[in-house]
Structure 1
Amino acid sequence: MMTLFNANQIDRISDLPSNVIDVILGNLRIRDQVRTSILSTKWRYMWTSAPHLYFDDDFYQRFLVLDDPGAVVSKIITDVVMLHNGPIHKFSICIYADFDFKITTEDINLWIPFMSRDVKHLELVTHCVFKDPMPDILFSCKELTYFKCSSFILSIPPNFCGFEKLLELHLVCVEFESSALESLMSGCPFLEKLVIELCGDFEYLDISSPTLKVLLVKLEYDIKSICLKKAKNLVDFTLDANYNSLSGLIKSLPKIKRFSMLRGKKVREHH
């Protein structure tokens, strides 16, 4: 990164308003955020207030040569979060399938207290066969507008007061305890987009969300019943599953503009 700026350019950037510097840092990968600390003495600790923290494929790639990469990665993420001295608005961990690391309950219980009051965009994505229960502390993130998670068992704690600002929800490879999905949906009064992907194991799907506009459901198995009668404002629905009662389903959606059914090589669209 030192080749990108000369000393005068660095000084000019340092004089920018703090909110502009936050935008610059927020668009850098975590490795590059930390590297800005060597640009000048003014920049030494600026990365610790970056509002966006992304741990993506580029971050994990270097650790693949280690015998136990998971422990190293967990410690680095924990150190970054604990050293952070400003609000964290976006926090994203996306782990691809070849990396031997999972997000544990212990990790989340360490990280979330440092961001729960401010985080608006939260992604916790792993590709693990063995799932842990979703930690209750995640339900304390009241400012969430976007939430994506995978490889958890979802149960709703009795003191859950809802995600009143949540607009977009992605659930991938999530297992649901009894009525957990319904309870979660009822606590999201302004939800506009819902993605349910490779989740199980239910034969009946009932989506009750009058604000929902976009729905994507992808399942590996047959589904017997889908009820969307309380999703009257749905305009875009994609279904990737074996399901036979399409005509009745479409008729129950008065505002639908785009309906796609995907199964294998079959694609059917209704406009």
Structure 2
Amino acid sequence: MDSSHGKKRMNVEDDDRLSSLQDELIHKILSFIGIKHAIQTSVLSSRWRFIWTSMPYLNFSWDDFCKLPKFSEFVTRVLSGRNNQTEVSSVKLSNFRGKDGDVIAEQIMKYAISHNIQQLDVACLPQNIVLTTSTWELPVLTTLYLDGVTLCCDEKTDKCIDFFSKCANLKNLTLKSCYTKGFKGLSICLPLLSNLTLEDGCGSVKVYNIVAPQLKNLNMSGVVTQDHQYLISAPDLVSLLYKGFYDLSLSTDDFPSLEKADICVSYPRDAHQALRLLQQLHNVKSLTLNLEIVEVIGGVYLIVIKGARRPQGP
């Protein structure tokens, strides 16, 4: 009896200790779960009843619902039930699917944009969410992560499209498994960008034009075509990682601050292009190359040496 009473009192005390935390700390705790589960905490006590309405973190996942209408209705109720005086610091959209998934995503993003969103993560089944150039107007955004998203130009064009020109404060950008449609060039011209990751991209884009004076870390991997070109202006670049099937076609003035470069090409074909890349990285302090590149470059030197030793005719 005493043990049971003591256990009950301990649970109450633990609950009171958690409830006594400031709203900001409770919001942070709830940010690790989906918004659906965060709302369910409102039944705990009067203290928790409206906590979710001022949460700056919105984590929506389709996995929490079996049917689209219920998910769509839930999103509408959440957005209308929030305290509109509270800004949205981060939004995470995961596992969106179906032809209407982009409609719901756009609804959430428009709301987030109007509430000064700073971080946006969109991860869905491949190419289910379509984002056009008109979607992007995120002046406060500092971190953007897109996975399995289609980037589509409003009108087909051969020009370089800058999707992120209205994201002037963007510092961290990741494009993973994104499909590009309707344009051949993608410009990433961001004055404050510090970290950029391009992974497993495919589609219409052949040229990446990167202008980022404060870029420190650049990771490019999973490139599966031979005709991708990278035009890069990043004088403060410190770390460069490239992992792809084919040779890296890189055009740059210089990387005077480069400290580390890791280059891995599965099927290098052009030894002269590999040598040209090494010349472009002449300032690097630490360079890692995979065996295939070394063998291709070594083959060129071997041919040169043999040619130099060929006996001269009379």
TM, length-normalised to structure 1: 0.76
Q: Does 1:206 align with 2:205?
A: no
- Map of 1:260 onto structure 2: 262
1:130, distance to aligned residue in structure 2 (A)? 5.8
- Map of 1:227 onto structure 2: 231
Deviations 1:248-270 (A, max 9, x none): 7699322222222344599xx82
| Pairs within 5 Å for 1:27-42 | 27-42=32-47
Q: How many angstroms apart in 2 are the aligned matches of 1:236 and 1:54?
A: 32
- Map of 2:174 onto structure 1: 170
- Map of 1:140 onto structure 2: 137
Moved more, 17-26 or 127-136: 127-136
Higher normalized contact order (CA 8 Å, seq sep 6+, divided by chain length): 1
Partner of residue 74 from structure 1, selected from 72, 75, 89: 72
Matched AA of 2:217: V
1:43, distance to aligned residue in structure 2 (A)? 0.8
Bigger fraction of residues in strand: 2
Matched AA of 1:14: S
Matched AA of 1:79: R
The 1:212/1:252 distance shift into structure 2, 3 A limit, reads same
- Residue 72 of structure 1: SS of its match in structure 2? helix
1:212, distance to aligned residue in structure 2 (A)? 1.2
Deviations 1:109-166 (A, max 9, x none): 4223432132111012212346634262x42322100012242224389998621211
The 1:239/1:265 distance shift into structure 2, 3 A limit, reads same
| Pairs within 5 Å for 1:1-271 | 6-56=11-61, 60=63, 63=65, 66=66, 69-85=67-83, 86-95=86-95, 100-101=97-98, 104-116=101-113, 117-129=115-127, 132-134=130-132, 136=134, 138-149=135-146, 150-155=148-153, 162-172=166-176, 173-175=178-180, 177-178=182-183, 181-182=186-187, 185-186=188-189, 188-199=190-201, 200-218=203-221, 219-223=223-227, 225-228=229-232, 230-244=233-247, 252-264=254-266, 270=287
Across the aligned residues of Structure 1 and Structure 2, the Cα RMSD in angstroms comes to 3.5
- Residue 40 of structure 1: SS of its match in structure 2? coil
The 1:21/1:204 distance shift into structure 2, 3 A limit, reads closer
Q: How many angstroms apart in 2 are the aligned matches of 1:202 and 1:155?
A: 11
Q: How many angstroms apart in 2 are the aligned matches of 1:159 and 1:222?
A: 24
The 1:245/1:112 distance shift into structure 2, 3 A limit, reads closer
The 1:34/1:153 distance shift into structure 2, 3 A limit, reads same
Larger radius of gyration: 2
Q: How many angstroms apart in 2 are the aligned matches of 1:46 and 1:224?
A: 49
Residue 232 of structure 1 contacts residue 255 of structure 1 at CA under 8 Å; is this kept in 2?
Answer: yes
1:7, distance to aligned residue in structure 2 (A)? 2.9
Matched AA of 2:197: V
Q: How many residues align?
A: 250
Q: How many angstroms apart in 1 are the aligned matches of 2:241 and 2:127?
A: 26
Structure 1, unaligned runs of 5 or more: none
The 1:225/1:158 distance shift into structure 2, 3 A limit, reads closer
Residue 102 of structure 1 contacts residue 126 of structure 1 at CA under 8 Å; is this kept in 2?
Answer: no
